[in-house]
Structure 1
């Protein structure tokens, strides 16, 4: 019975949640957050690119994030030389989810060799400004910091046996960098709900 209760609690705590899909064309809300890797505070202006900027809401413990970590690193390594900047943000409530603490965020970033900053949104103001709902949640902003893509990395999920390719996010980046129109038929990301404070 205890095992059943624990399983039910875990399933409830990690309820599958989809992106809220911020309207395309929205200008990226500004922020100033601590990068747990360098232990410096950066603003969006410090980190953005004059080509394209990818903002990702992630965390340490979510199985949906763990499933895509290798592709996030690979994608960043592929596109950073093209002038694209990547920014990862964790906004989870660390009091109830201590595995998402800044100290453990730093360890996770070092373990995976994150080639991008990993920012700690302690107040959760940034996640709310971006209307972020799940981990992982992805956004691409153009050279003017207007939203051109929000949605899934690809259709691979833990246990569904579909290959992890990053095809949706990569396709949007490729189209934008080549000057091609980006389809507005974008599929929401799915993952654990962001762990909001009470």
Structure 2
């Protein structure tokens, strides 16, 4: 009975998260929130003291529904909150979103990947799911700044990988890639301002 109730709670939670996320995505598209870094900055800053929380929620959602390049939101975090706080908020938001993506994939399975991602990405990485060494491959990929992390988090959810193992991997692996994007892009735009236009 307890297990059945837990299952019901998980079902309701996943449905609520999906609905809230979809509503935000629709709102963002209609208001051009995802069109540029400037649009995102304007949206976040107007929330004042709540801006960090709103930004982390947004960062989590953009992992669950990867509709904009992650570099845009990472860089926005650094520009809005500074290098240190920006890195922290990016980290918390992305870890949260990655965990949600994993759990959604556990619940909905492979069909969810079919809806969210293109054929090229799937054909390249789907075979990893059948590899017994998937946890190691996943860990190596997460440590690499150029890996398609959002997709891999979903893919991990379709395997036998346990949530504890998944969470440990992203907690340890994400800081490097987040720092590389956040500070790397910040340095590039600081020294090469024409890239910002």
TM-score category by the smaller chain? Answer: under 0.3
TM-score norm. by structure 1 comes to 0.27
Which structure has the highest strand share of the two? 1
Give the greater-gyration-radius structure (CA): 2
Larger RCO (alpha carbons 8 Å, 6+ apart): 1
